[in-house]
Amino acid sequence: MGERSRSTFALPAQSLVADYLCQSRASLTQYDIDMRPRFRDISSAEREWLAGLDMDVYVPIHAQDEWIGLLALGPKISGNRYFGDELLFLSTFADQTAVALENARLFDDLKARSEEIARLNQDLVRANTELARVGQAKSDFIDIASHELRTPLTQVRGYADMLKEMLEEESLKPETGARMLKGLKLAAMRLEEIIDTMFDVAQIDTETLELKLVSESVSRVVEGAVEEWIEALKERKHTLTLQGLDDLPHVQADYKRLKQAFSHLIQNAIKYTPDGGQIRIKGQLLEWVLPQDQAIEIVISDTGIGIAEDDLDQIFAKFYRVGNVLLHSTGKTKFKGAGPGLGLPIARGIVEAHGGRLWAESAGCDEEKCPGSEFHVVLPLHPKTQSTGRQRPNTLRVAPNPLLS
Ligand code: ADP
């Protein structure tokens, strides 16, 4: 029918033609624009613009009450004008185009909505998984806390009952009394230790752990941590070697807290390695292009049972322990003698508070082949830490740890 047709274009903002097409919802020919008195006042700019289009007929497309498009057709090849039936046909065609466009729009809406629902669904699944994890961590906490606290509490009660009986029977010998008091003291110390551990985690969680930083030798910190486990190392017949620590530059550290972090890592290496294993603590300087990015790395490796790939990150979550929590024997240095599952979250919280990073690497968990585990501690020489109004000079507050939430 027409030589050229365009389904879309933009009319000038102030346009008599546009007003007409919008209000009348009827087709309009260029002949009408040129001849009808209604369009006599069209501005010369609009007239020029229309002439530039070189169209012969305009048919507005309305969807419900909204003007959504315009069909414009150029002059016929024959040079004749568009008349009644053709204009009627074009109006019907515009109505059908409106339906098609509306359907396409509805389809797009539907698609966008179904994508949004799929996204929300994914969020919901993630939130549910997280909720289930938190719920599991809570019930693990109750199981572990009661399990951990029950042993020393039972000891306290047992000794108290025995002392009472012996005192009543007047059969208490001084050496028996001294042994019982020692047992009571050890049980009380264990209770204190459990409470301290939970308090440390709470401080890391609430970002209220404060560090007193001074220039510190990592070698001194590691040696201090090793000293705590000399007896256990002998008992479990493990060999521990230190390598490359003396040459390392000093870091900004809180001796007590950093020692605590290394102590947890050494304790785990002792626990998760069968008797007669090798534990190595190796240090090296990591040189980066920028001097301010320089850091030291300390790797604690063992010849123990190793860690499954899926657990490498999880073990840093609070109360997370591999396997059934209540099947673990409770013990500080016994083979696989698990504690409350707070050692690694605390160690990571402390290392991160020093601006550093702590992660685990292992070729898998195998109690027969013992592939071993490596725990990497990276401490920057110039930690980039945020100062807060509440801080004292040379103190740092712990950085939030996403794995602890
Ligand atoms: P726990 O008090 O149970 O030792 P941790 O937070 O210190 O808690 O460790 C969490 C879990 O990570 C442990 O239960 C253990 O399964 C695993 N794990 C930690 N260190 C090692 C290691 N050196 N070798 C193998 N598994 C380890």
Q: Which pLDDT band holds residue 147 (cuts at 50, 70, 90)? A: confident
- Kindly state the percentage of the chain with pLDDT values over 90: 48
- Give the tens place of pLDDT for each residue, 244-271: 999 999 999 999 999 999 999 999 999 9
pLDDT of residue 323: 65
pLDDT tens-digit profile of 2-16?
Answer: 444 444 456 566 788
Provide the token pair at 258. 């950093």
Atom of ligand 1 nearest to the CA of 304: 24
Cβ atoms 190, 152 nearer than 8 A: yes
Tell me the β-bridge partners of 280.
241, 301
- Of the two residues 294 and 392, the one the predictor is more confident about is 294
Residues 349-368: tens digit of each pLDDT: 999 999 999 999 999 999 99
Query: Over 70: is that where the pLDDT of 386 sits?
Result: no
Cβ atoms of 201 and 346 closer than 8 Å? yes
Q: Cα 357–358–363 angle (5° rounding)?
A: 135
Single-letter code of the amino acid located at 331:
G
CA of 325 to the centre of ligand 1 (A): 12
Instruction: Determine if ligand 1 sits within 6 Å of the CB of residue 349.
Output: no
Task: Tell me which of 396 and 265 has the higher pLDDT.
Answer: 265
Closest C-alpha among 378, 338, 330 to residue 154: 330
Give 321 Cα–ligand 1 centroid separation in angstroms.
6
pLDDT (average), residues 98-126: 92
pLDDT grade for 166, boundaries at 50, 70 and 90: very high
Q: What confidence score (pLDDT) does residue 293 get?
A: 79
**pLDDT at 141 (0 to 100):** 73
Q: Residue 303: how many CB atoms within 10 A of its CB?
A: 19
pLDDT tens-digit readout, 286-331:
987 677 778 999 999 999 999 999 999 999 988 777 765 554 445 6
Q: Which of 194, 272, 310, 316 has most ligand 1 atoms within 8 Å of CB, for mutation?
A: 272
Q: Measured from the CA of 345, which atom of ligand 1 is nearest?
A: 6
Q: What residue's CA is closest to ligand 1, atom 18?
A: 268
Q: Which of 34, 4, 1 is nearest to 17 (CA)?
A: 34
> Which residues contact residue 187 at a Cβ distance below 8 angstroms, ignoring those fewer than 6 apart?
152, 153, 155, 156, 159
Distance of alpha carbon 300 from alpha carbon 374, whole angstroms: 6
Q: Identify residue 186 by its one-letter amino acid code.
A: L
**Distance, CA of 358 to CA of 271 (rounded, Å):** 19
Ligand 1 geometric centre to CA of 303 (Å):
14
| Residue of higher predicted confidence among 183 and 144 | 183
Token representation of residue 154: 């039972």
Question: Mind listing the pLDDT tens digit for each residue in 202-217?
Answer: 888 777 888 999 999 9
Q: Where are the beta strands (DSSP E) in 141-221?
A: 210-212, 214-216
Average pLDDT over residues 126-135: 86
Q: For residue 158, what are the contacts with CB-CB under 8 A and spacing of at least 6? A: none
